[in-house]
Each structure stands twice: as structure tokens, then as C-alpha cells.
Chain A
Amino acid sequence: MSTNRENFQEFFSSTSGKLGSILLVIFILISVFVVFTYPLNFGNTIWSNPSYWSDYPKSAPPTWVSIFGTENVEHQIIDFTSPVDVIPISNQEQRLYSYTLNYDSNISPTFLSLSMYDVVYHDRPPTISVSILRPDNEEILIYRDVISSPRQGEEGPYVRYSDSPFRINLSGDKSVSSNLIEFVQDKSNSQISVNDIVGSNEKYIFSSFSSTNPQEVLHGEYQILIKFVVNNENDSISKIRFVLGGSSYGLLGTDSLGRNLSVGLLFGFPIALLIGLTTSTITTMIGTSMGIISGYTGGRTDTIIQRFADTLSNIPLLPILLFLIFIFGPQLWLVMTILVLFGWPGLTIIIRSMVLQINSSQSIEAAKSLGASKWRIMYRHIFPQLAPFIFAQLVFFTPAAILAEASLSFLGLGDPSIPTWGQILENGFRTGGVYIGYWWWILPPGLLIVITAMIFVFIALALEPVVNPKLKKM
């Protein structure tokens, strides 16, 4: 019998043991980070909530693709919370917000949008106007609006846009085009109409109007000026957001709903570990106790458990899993329960055959003749001999559970309230990401699933010589 320390040395001396443990520690650290920083109902309130992602670019590749020479526009979200200047005009008050940005990309933003959050007013509704001061000193008014007036019978103070913000897509708005048209006609010296520019307003706002290349962007300092005019000094707005849509986003890009993939993928870490470890722990516990009871007790108990295990372990898992989840609805705990239900019999059959060998050993006979109870023998004398093997089985079963959940999600039966890697991949596959070439949507989730499964396979490999000394190098 080797000591624990020798076992540890044996385990860590192998490359796969070292690699597996290091990766596992990294994965656990990421999971801990996610558990402490993400809200518990992340799936419902953030991930599956399209309005949360409306300010992000859709299907944008990661930012770092620009290394390979693709022309890029940075995605910019500009939040205005406090005015730079307050100017009293007769009995009104004009609050001025401004932001200066240096635009040097060769392509115009992919879209422009404006959002208003939490407007409160007391007398007459405030007005908002947005204009842009271009590097050539042309100031264009692009948007102007009055906050909706009080409804009949409504008492002040009047609250607007508190539940969900007011959002307008400036690129596709016809009123913006009407505001722009005179400026565009003037600059380009043509009789272009409003209908021609609606949908691509942003291109004209940032255009240099060069006669040789109509797509050319005017580089330099742009100033975004927002005027919020109120009639009562107590009126307020909590936030104004101005977005210049980019052609790429973040570390891992976005999906077709504009969701930041790196945020979703991070959430997958604790979920994958939870699915794998919980399922395999419970499965091993049930499988082991059933196996020991069956092998040691013998008789009718043995027959019943073995017949039961034999039938269950013979049922093809994926079809029955699909059927049950389809009927009962996609819930994560249900998936895990079914995996346990059909997972324990295999282990029980192996454990039983091992117990039958141990039964005839002298140590068990000695314990029996000393009058040890049935449960004591099973717990104190049989279980410890099997413990290393059982632990290896636990590790080995973990990737199976992770892969089973991923497969199920991939077939469209993932729990919608808990986003997993499998579901993100399925979304990408169903959107046709493989054919369109959204590689940043398809490759990372799959790679993460493979790496996670690999961690446990590596650890199991390194455990093998510890558990089964016969396999030590010959």
C-alpha cells in the first residue's frame, strides 16, 4: 500500500495531472469571480432581454481582428449625466451637455442612437435637441423632440421613461433625414431627396463630401452637443446616452442580437462546473452505495438491484433524455436528475463485482467474526478499499455530464433561463453562423466545452496509475 504523499507525487509527476490541475484551478477562480459579480437571475433579466443589448452592434467580430488588416470602427457608448453648462433663458433653463471625440477611422459608424432615462418634469414638458459640430465647423441639428405632454387627469410631477428608456435609432429616422437634407444638398451640390439618405444618415453626418469618393470620412474633432430645455428648475433627467455603433466589439464579439459574447461565455463557467460536478457526485454516491449493498447483502436484494440496473443501463440515453426533457420542459435541474437516474447503474454493476472479490478476503472475515454489524463492515471495511477507484470514477463521469447537457442544449432543449455554452453555440448554429462565417460565435463556446471536459479527462488519466497500481509503467 502506498502512502498518500506517494500518491500525490505520482499524480503530479505526470504532465496530464499537472495540466489538468492548473486548468481546473483557473476555471474555479473564474467561476468564483462570476458567482460574486453576476446577478443571480442573469439569464432572464440580462441575457434573454433584447432591450438590454439594443445599444450594442449586431453580429460584430472581436476588436482584435483589426490586427489582420480589417478596417474597424470602435464602438462608443457615451453617457451624459451632468450638464457642462446651465444657461437661464427668460423663465426657461437650458442645460448643455457636450462631448468631444476624435474621429480618425476610415469608415463611418455603423449606426447612431440616442436614449433617455428617467425624465421627471413639473409644469410643461422639456425639449431635447441634439446637434453635431463637425471638424469643418459646420453645426448640424440632427434631432429635436418634446417629451410627451401630461395625459388627461395625470397629476404632476410627471415621470417618463423610468421603466424602460426611450430609444431612437438616429440612422434610420426620417425626421433626422429631414433635418440633414438641406446640409447634404448644399455640401454635395446635388438634388438628393430625404428618401435617399434615410437609413444611412450616419454616413452623411460623417462624410467629407469629396467628389472623388463619396464614402470618404471627414477626420478630426467632432463635438456632440445636446440641449435639454426645461421650464422648471426641479425638472430632471438621469442619463442621456449617445451611441456610435462600431463594426467590432470587445474580446469575443457579439451575436445577432448584439449580446456581448464574452459576458455570456463567462457565465457558462460556473454553470458547466456545477452541472458536471453535482451530477457526477450524486451519481457516484448512489452508484457506490447500491453496488456495495448489492454485492455484500446478496440474495434477493442483489437480484432486484442488478435486474434494475441492467435494464436502466441498457436504455439508450440521448433519445430518452430528449423525450423526457421535451415533455417536461427544458429545466436544468431536470436534466441533471435524468442524468443521475440513468448514470448510476453502470457504476453499480462494476462496484458489485469488485465487492464480491473483497468479500472473500480475510479482513472481512475477521471483521465478521469480531461481530461487526453489516453496515459497519460495508462502511468501514469495504468502502475504504474502493475509495480511490470511486474517486477516479467521479472525475471520469464529470465530462460526460457536461457533454450531455451541451448536446441537449445544442439540440434546442437548453434551459432558457440559464445560458450555457451549448445554448450559445446552438443560437449561432441555428442563425446559420456556420454558413455566414460568424466564427467568433461558433468556435469559442465549443472550445470551452472541450477544454472543460479535457480537464477532467486529464485528471482521470493521471489518477489511473494511482488507483490501479497494476498499470504502473512496466
Chain B
Amino acid sequence: MSLLQTLIVRGLSLIVVLITVLFLSVIVLGATGYSDRLLTATVSEELRGLRQSLSQNIRDPTELEQVIEDRREQLIEFYGLDRPWYYRLPDMVFRILTLDLGEARTLRSFTGSNRVSDIVLERLPNTVLLITSATIITSIIGLYVGVKIATQVGSRLERSVSYFSAISYALPAWWLGIIFIILFAFQLRILPSSGMYSVPPPTEPFALFLDKLVHAILPVFTLVIVSVGSWSYAVRTMVLNISQEDFVNVARAKGLPENLVMRRHIIRVAAPPIVTSLILGLTGSLGGAILTETVFGWPGMGRLYYEAILAADESVIVALTFMFTLLYVIARFILEILYVVLDPRVRYK
């Protein structure tokens, strides 16, 4: 029961974050007149469709104009364009929640649709694929290296990891990506420079998968490099703090083998704070993904952000801001569950 309660509280606070972002964006959109523009565009788009279908049946031009004018007034009232923007707040929030943001100005989905939801949802899996694989690789390497160097403080390896972690904090993911492109794609010519598939893509499913894998190497590698240093360092510090505790000394004094002490008495205790630092690094890796996708032309939501900015496509940008926040909240919640599972104190309070 208590476990469920904790999760509900965590979940609620994350929903508050999501709603804050939603309202913040809607208020900004309303107060700057963007919401009016978005809705007016939607109205005229609907009227254009109506005019096309009606012109088959109604021959008289004045009658046609009359019908369309009536419909325009209906639509304006329906979308609330006749009232100030703040009356439309709940409606706008709902529209963003359902990604019902009308049509993109110039951007198209890969299948040719210009509906914002089609464009954004099509890219979502690619971003999720990139972020999750990078996070999993980073966590595994970070855990392994972090624990290893915690046992040999002052060694050459420990010092170089510490320096590497400091340097990677100052290393923008996008610049590193550019360097990797120059190095691996143009100098050594061993990896593709951008995109997700070769042109033309292979037809056989397994070859297609391999092709995707090869294209993913550089972006994932970039993301791992920028975050693995600080992560190993965080793990090292946490493990080091706990290994100085009395109960660890007791375990050693009992004569338990070192790897058992490490596994049962140190890592098990260090696990919750390690997950916390993973949580804290989450917004960073999300931002890193946006920039990495842009550099590598990876067709995910981050690259779409860049394209939408260049094309000044506001409805796509609104949708993306919401989707990234949603992605963050979901990832965050998964980590919170992991935290609760790892830390018995939260469960049996």
C-alpha cells in the first residue's frame, strides 16, 4: 500500500510539471497572439476544403459565398476566436494534449502528410531509440568503470577518469559530433556521416536493420562520450562514500571476500543515490539528443526542432516542446519506480 502511495505522490508531482509546462506554453502563445494565428490558419484551411467540395454542388457563386461565410462564423465561434485568448485556455491545453495542432506550414511527414501529429509521432520512435540505447550503454560503462576506480583511488586510471569527466562537462555534444563526422566519416571513411539509412535503403529486412545500426553508431557514441565521464565519476564518489561506512568495515572484518562486500554491502546501498544522479542527468541527455540529432541528421524529434525553427513552423514547435516534456516525465517516472524498488526505506516507512 505504502509503495503504491509513494508512486502516486511521485507521479502526481510529475503531472504537475507537465501541466505547468502546458499552461506556460499556452499562456505565452495566447499573450503573444500566436494562438490567434494558429487558429485562424486552421479555420481558413477548413474553409478551403469546404469550398472545394461545395463548388461541385453549388453553382451560384453568391450562394456559395453565403454558405462559406456562415460556416466561417460558426467556426470562429467554435474555436472561440471571437473572444479574448484567455477564454480559450482549457481548450488550447486540450488541443496540445491531443496534438491537434492543425497543419504544419512547410514541413511534411515521410509519408507526405502535413498534419502536425503525423509528423511528430512518426519521429518519436527514432528519438526514443537513440536516447534509450545511449542511456543504457552509458549506465553500464559508468557503473563498471565507476566501481572499478572507486577501489583504486589515486591510481592513474582514477585520475584520468576524473579529468575526462571534467573535460566532458565542458564538451558540447554537437561540437563533438561534428569532430566525429570529420574524423570517422570524412578522414577515415568508415562510418556514414548522417541520416538513418543509406540512399537508397536496402530492401531486405535484416540488411535494413544492419544499415540502421551502422548509422546509429556515431550519434550514440557521441551521446555516450559526453555523459559517461561524469557518470562514472558520480558512481565512484557514491561507492567511495559508502565504502568508508562502519558496516562495510564490519563486513570486511568478518572476512567476507572483497567482491561479496562490494556486491552486497556497497553497491546495493549505493544503488538508490546512483539512480538519483541518473534522474538528475536526464534533462541533460534530452538536450544532448536534440543537438546530436541535428548534427547527424538523425530523423528524430530533435532534428525536427531544428527544421521547424528554420521553417518558422510554430505549431510543430509547440507540439515538440510538449512531446519532449512528456518524454521527460515518462522517463523520469520509470526511474522513480526503479528508485522505489531499489530503496526499501521508501517502501516500509
Contacts and interface: CB of A to CB of B under 8 A. Distances in A.
Contacts of A407: 172, 174, 287, 291
A403 B170 contact: yes
Interface string A365-389: 0000000000000000000000000
A412 B306 contact: yes
A64 interface: no
Contacts of B21: 315, 320
Nearest to A429: B178
A411 B306 contact: yes
A425 interface: yes
A442 B306 CA distance: 18
A443 B17 CA distance: 38
Contact of B166 (A318, A326, A461): A461
Interface stretch (B25-33, B141-149, B197-205): B25-33
A323 B325 CA distance: 12
Interface size class of A (residues with CB under 8 A): 35 or more
A458 B309 contact: no
Interface in A215-237: none
Main secondary structure of the interface of A (DSSP, over half): helix
B178 A315 contact: no
Interface stretch (A27-35, A112-120, A174-182, A432-440): A432-440
Given A316-B283, A318-B290, A450 B321 contact: no
A222 B194 CA distance: 49
Contacts of A412: 306, 309-310
Interface string A82-106: 0000000000000000000000000
A407 B174 CA distance: 8
Interface in A299-328: 310-311, 314-320, 322-324, 326-328
A446 B291 contact: no
Given A311-B20, A318-B286, A407-B291, A328 B309 contact: no
Interface stretch (B49-57, B83-91, B270-278, B312-320): B312-320
Interface in B179-204: 179, 181-182, 186, 193
Given A315-B20, A410-B291, A474-B153, A449 B175 contact: yes
Interface string A147-190: 00000000000000000000000000000000000000000000
Contacts of B181: 434
A453 interface: yes
B13 interface: yes
A450 B172 CA distance: 7
Given A314-B17, A323-B321, A454 B170 contact: yes
B16 interface: yes
B141 to A, nearest CB: 21
B294 interface: yes
A107 B172 CA distance: 40
A458 B305 contact: no
B275 to A, nearest CB: 16
Nearest to A412: B309
B79 interface: no
Interface in A421-471: 425, 429, 434-435, 437, 439, 442-443, 446, 449-450, 453-454, 456-458, 461
Nearest to B168: A457
A406 interface: yes
A443 B176 CA distance: 10
Contacts of A319: 286-287, 290, 305, 320-321, 324-325
Nearest to B310: A412
Contacts of A474: 153
A287 interface: no
A326 B332 contact: no
Interface string B3-41: 000000000011011001100110011001010000000
A253 interface: no
B171 interface: yes
Given A413-B309, A429-B178, A310 B13 contact: yes
Contacts of A473: 154
Given A314-B14, A450-B170, A320 B321 contact: yes
18 contacts: A315-B20, A316-B282, A316-B324, A316-B328, A319-B286, A319-B287, A324-B28, A326-B309, A326-B314, A326-B317, A327-B32, A327-B34, A411-B290, A411-B294, A446-B179, A453-B171, A457-B167, A457-B169
Interface of B: 13-14, 16-17, 20-21, 24-25, 28-29, 32, 34, 153-154, 166-167, 169-172, 174-175, 178-179, 181-182, 186, 193, 282-283, 286-287, 290-291, 294-295, 305-306, 309-310, 314, 317-318, 320-321, 324-325, 328, 332
Given A316-B287, A411-B306, A435-B186, 6 more contacts: A315-B17, A316-B282, A318-B290, A323-B25, A327-B29, A434-B181
